[in-house]
Amino acid sequence: MDELHHECGVAALYCLADKPGPSGVWSGDPDQVSRLMPRMLLDLQNRGQLAAGMTTYNPGRDQLLSTYKEIGTVIEAFRINHPGKFASIMEEYAGRAAIGHTRYATCGPTTRSYAQPFERRHGCKWKWFAFAYNGQLTNFTDLRQQLLQNHDYHLTRENDTEVILHYLAHEMRGDDRPDLVEVFRRLSRKFEGAYNLAFLNATGEMVVSRDPTGLRPMCYAADGRAFAAASESVVLQNLGFRDIRSLEPGELVLVRDGEVSVHRYAEHRRVSHCFFEWIYFANVASTLDDRSVYLSRSRLGRELARQEEELGRVPLDPAETVVVPVPDTGKAAADAMAFALGIPSVEGLIRNRYIGRTFIEGSNRADRVRAKFTPLREVLSGKRVLLVEDSIVRSTTLKSLLHHLRDQGGAKEVHVRVACPPILAPCFYGIDMSTVKELFAPKFMAGKVPTVAEQDAMAADLGADSLFYLPVDAVARCIGLPEDRLCRACVTADYPTADGRRLYSLALANQTTAAGGRTYEAGAAAEQPLVCTVRT
């Protein structure tokens, strides 16, 4: 509801021309397999809507690597609604391998130069490469300062993607063709935080890697002549792949000389999958690390129902009380909650999926809510509503929505139920909530577990009749993973990396000062200026 932004989605695709077979995924000309990339990126649109792009490899053209990227959604960037222009792009950038990217930006420039993939051209084929990146380097400022102080570098962007570009290029130096597994192993000793990469060079080598903590998901599959990887399994499933696997933290897939191999490139660390992927970010049809997103959200709904019965604060008369999901991520939890309670789950809020991004951003918050959601007065009027929300981060949009439900929908009461614990700490791993100040719950909570009185105070501030969150222990139980394999830093303040813990200390200090900007831009030293940058 607070339009929380995940930074991007990554995809990779390769036609292994010398493999036997036709494949169920691709049986055509190897140099045309890149035509599937826009389709893959459409299935990653939930992870980024500001820009989209791809880099393709074709040994039969002068530009062995060629990058196309533009501002806008995938449909806008690739001109999919203009068949002639789309066909021209597909023909010009045709290749037997491709990497792709969809992007969000939280602040800073929204220009094409920040869109991905990033390409580094060079006369030596194995030094000519492109890459797409998902995550956030928590030691970005330290790495950037090292480049500026120890080398004669000129950096043109305030983001960690350009820093990664230079560190990759540095690892390619010398006269001998490098072992890419060793390249990524050395980088893993320098990089901290979340970083999934799709890499492609002008010799046709491809690498898809997942960071050692496994914060962001990465899936891959092979079928005859076709290999593909993506941030979410639904992308590969929709292409026709059957045997889809999650890349383990600290592993990479190498495609070289027509062979696909999996390698461990980084030492074992504390594995910490971001729980927010299951409850909010990922497509509901995806399976991440062998855990279904849909089933996880359904179990969250059953937990909400159990809590509702224990609380006993709202009469559960099917004639007067309805469950309403906040579209779209709240629906699976809302349906499961309503079924368990024996009351109706109704689509009391209809989301307008055809409002353009620019139109919404150009309105004030109340107008954005009215443009985006239409309350159905026919099913809400005079009803007691249990409004199921996936999470509350900043609360500003939710306040407008609650007013809209009463004013336009005619709801008699609105009780907010959140299928997530309170967000009380920032994320430094690629989600755009980087300061304590911007978060809703910490303003009301004395500890890490909200009391009934504190939740009542939150409800009053929002304009709800009541508010209840799920407890922290419900998260691991519903996802089906042990607590020690999940990153729950935003609800526990327990960060899986040293840099995360350092940045949280800085965020707490900034909470009581006039310091502005995003916490992670403070870097290694709090006395450095805080600046707003784009994260990719």
Active-site annotation, residues: 8
In eight-state DSSP terms, residue 419 is S
Dihedral pair phi/psi, residue 506, rounded to 5°: -65, -40
Q: H helices within 357-472, ranges in order?
A: 357-361, 365-372, 377-380, 396-407, 452-462
Backbone region of residue 226 per phi and psi (left: phi > 0; alpha: psi in -120 to 50; beta: other values): beta
Residues whose CB falls within 8 Å of the CB of residue 42, separated by 6 or more in sequence, listed in order: 74, 75
Element (DSSP H or E) covering residue 299: helix 293-311
The amino acid at 383 = K
Among residues 449, 518, 498, which one has the least CA distance to residue 139?
498
Among residues 259, 297, 285, which one has the least CA distance to residue 391?
297
Length of the chain equals 536
Cα(119)–Cα(130) distance, integer angstroms: 4
Two tokens at 479?
Answer: 């996802």
Q: Look at residue 180 and give its three-state secondary structure.
A: helix
Residues whose CB falls within 8 Å of the CB of residue 473, separated by 6 or more in sequence, listed in order: 483
Cis peptide before 421 (omega within 30 of 0): no
Query: How many Cβ atoms sit within 10 Å of the Cβ of residue 447?
Result: 8
Q: Apex CA 94: angle with CA 92 and CA 99, to 5°?
A: 115
Cα(51)–Cα(520) distance, integer angstroms: 23
Contact call for residues 308 and 302 (beta carbons, < 8 A): no
Return the HEC string of 328-379.
Answer: CCCHHHHHHHHHHHCCCECCCEEECCCCCHHHHHCCCHHHHHHHHEEECHHH
Q: Look at residue 118 and give its three-state secondary structure.
A: strand
Cα(159)–Cα(253) distance, integer angstroms: 26
Cα(101)–Cα(44) distance, integer angstroms: 8
Task: Extract long-range pairs of 312-321: CB within 8 Å, 24+ residues apart.
Answer: 313/415, 313/466, 314/384, 314/386, 314/413, 314/415, 314/466, 315/384, 316/341, 316/342, 316/343, 317/343, 318/342, 318/343, 318/344, 320/383, 320/384, 321/383, 321/384, 321/385, 321/386
Residues whose CB falls within 8 Å of the CB of residue 72, separated by 6 or more in sequence, listed in order: 50, 51, 52
